[in-house]
């Protein structure tokens, strides 16, 4: 950065601490006086101004030392070698402004129109530097607090207390600079050691110590606590094995509350050291599952034939994680038993019927035909008279299969379809990944002496298709 003030040019030169210690020559360019060479003597400090002479006039070069905190302060009473800036309190040469913190020559004021150096009054009409009062007759700007450390004008709050300026000193010798770096390294090392000692995590990962809860309880006492918790949960959890939506809406919140209560009891003690991590994991999983149960209590099953959500609960990730935590407890001590409330996860089945299997066979009273071309996913197709609620025909068609149902009696019908996985023949429905739809258009079958109706439906969207469908509530899907 360069500038011009009152017959001399100003510039700033950045140097490294090692250059400040050993001295260096820098060449800079100023817009006013062009190129100028500045000889920086050994021991230069951050903020010192070195005067250099160019062909056009004097140049004041302010030296900025990178990382100036790595400079040593000269011992009190040490003489300043030739070429070093004067000690604090020494006046500047006649005709030049003083260095920051040094008095100007007698009778010299700051340049007109510019604020004074810190510690000197400003020219009339200009505010003083931060931390110093303005000239008489110039109060602080309306609506703004006073300078730090000074009272505000009437009606305005005072500013914060004035901050103490950072201390800087003289750098003497390269050897001293290296010593300072070593000292800084020691200080950082000590701070790291202190931080590590302050944060000792407990075996469960919690920053609280075992002393907060007390000493670890005996293995027999902890084993009894696990049995009591398992028994309490089992009483309410077993009630979830129901197909009744009303029962589930009552049983799920009760089971969730019991899980949460028993989890808090497990966390309230300090178990034997070998079981502390598994105990914490178990309690966390119980509380997380409790939250999930409450949210799902009012959700109807998408597969009514599955008999409620109980099988899915036993196959859930929550159940799997609790089984793992229970196994970890048993590995720590065979007497630590938990999880009898949780039966083994039932194996997923993939039961299917043969393509074209009738679940409800038509009475063969008619001559109508329904040709079915299926897409992806096993499907059941049902014909329900518009005047009734139960199917007169239901047939099972496998994924990508084709089938023609015959014997459809004359009449007008709605066509329903159900898709899913694992078909339970006894319950006449899928148990997983269910979806239920209804064709929006009615299907009319008629027979004459010369012809009968043949409808063809394709269950995969096709270009030019003219049949739309709508989703159906699983619990409103027509069944026998």
Domain definitions of the chain by residue range: 213-332, 357-476
Q: Give yes or no for residue 412 having a pLDDT over 50.
A: yes
Q: Identify the pLDDT of residue 149.
A: 46
Q: Per the structure block, which two tokens stand in for 382?
A: 């049902």
Contact 54/33 with Cβ under 8 angstroms? yes
- pLDDT for residue 402 is more than 70: yes
**Four-residue CA torsion sign, 64, 70, 73, 79:** negative
Write down the pLDDT at residue 231. Answer: 97
Q: What is the pLDDT of residue 465?
A: 63
Cα of first residue to Cα of last residue in the chain, in angstroms, is: 91
Res 69: pLDDT:
58
pLDDT at 299: 66
CB 378 within 8 A of CB 463: no
Q: Percent of the chain at pLDDT above 70?
A: 66
Site of tokens 């993939």: 350
- Which H or E run includes 210? helix 210-213
Residue located via tokens 């004097």:
58
Q: Give the DSSP H or E segment for 225.
A: helix 219-237
Instruction: Return the CATH number of 357-476, one of 3.40.640.10, 3.40.50.1360, 2.60.40.10, 3.40.50.920.
Output: 2.60.40.10
pLDDT surpassing 90 at residue 403 = yes
Model confidence pLDDT, tens digit, residues 20-31: 888 999 988 887
Q: Return the pLDDT at 463.
A: 62
């Amino acid at each position: 950065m360069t500038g011009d003030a009152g017959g001399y040019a100003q510039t700033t030169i950045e140097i490294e601490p090692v250059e400040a210690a050993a001295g260096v020559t820098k060449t800079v360019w100023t817009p006013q006086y062009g190129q100028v060479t500045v000889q920086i003597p050994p021991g230069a400090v951050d903020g010192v101004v070195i005067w250099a002479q160019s062909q056009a006039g004097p140049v004041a070069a302010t030296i900025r030392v990178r990382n100036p905190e790595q400079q040593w302060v000269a011992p009190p009473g040490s003489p300043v070698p030739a070429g070093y800036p004067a000690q604090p309190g020494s006046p500047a040469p006649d005709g030049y402004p003083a260095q920051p913190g040094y008095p100007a020559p007698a009778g010299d004021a700051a340049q007109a129109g510019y604020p004074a150096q810190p510690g000197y009054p400003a020219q009339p009409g200009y505010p003083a530097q931060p931390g110093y009062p303005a000239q008489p007759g110039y109060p602080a700007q309306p609506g703004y607090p006073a300078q730090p450390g000074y009272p505000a004008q009437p009606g305005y709050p005072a500013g914060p207390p004035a901050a103490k300026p950072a201390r800087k000193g003289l750098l003497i010798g390269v050897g001293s600079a290296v010593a300072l770096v070593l000292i800084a390294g020691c200080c950082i090392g000590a701070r790291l050691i202190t931080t590590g000692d302050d944060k000792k995590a407990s075996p469960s990962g919690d920053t609280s110590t075992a002393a907060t809860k007390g000493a670890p309880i005996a293995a027999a006492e902890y084993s009894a606590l696990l049995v009591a918790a398992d028994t309490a949960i089992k009483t309410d959890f077993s009630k979830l094995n129901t197909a009744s939506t009303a029962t589930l809406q009552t049983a799920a919140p009760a089971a969730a509350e019991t899980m949460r209560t028993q989890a808090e009891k497990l966390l309230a003690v300090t178990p034997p050291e070998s079981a502390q991590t598994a105990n914490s994991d178990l309690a966390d999983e119980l509380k997380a599952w409790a939250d999930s149960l409450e949210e799902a209590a009012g959700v109807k099953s998408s597969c009514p034939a599955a008999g409620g959500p109980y099988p899915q609960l036993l196959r859930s990730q929550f159940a799997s994680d609790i089984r793992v935590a229970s196994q970890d407890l048993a590995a720590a001590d065979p007497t630590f038993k938990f999880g009898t409330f949780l039966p083994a996860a039932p194996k997923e089945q993939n039961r299917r019927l043969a393509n074209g299997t009738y679940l409800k066979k038509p009475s063969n009273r008619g001559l109508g035909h329904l040709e079915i071309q299926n897409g992806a996913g096993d499907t059941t197709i049902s014909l329900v008279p518009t005047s009734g609620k139960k199917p007169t025909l239901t047939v099972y068609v496998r994924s990508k299969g084709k089938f023609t149902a015959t014997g459809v009696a004359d009449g007008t019908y709605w066509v329903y379809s159900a898709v899913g996985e694992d078909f339970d023949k006894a319950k006449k429905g899928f148990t997983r990944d269910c979806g239920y739809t209804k064709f929006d258009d009615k299907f009319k079958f008629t027979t004459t002496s010369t012809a009968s109706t043949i409808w063809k439906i394709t269950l995969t969207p096709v270009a030019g298709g003219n049949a739309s469908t709508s989703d159906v509530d699983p619990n409103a899907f027509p069944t026998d």
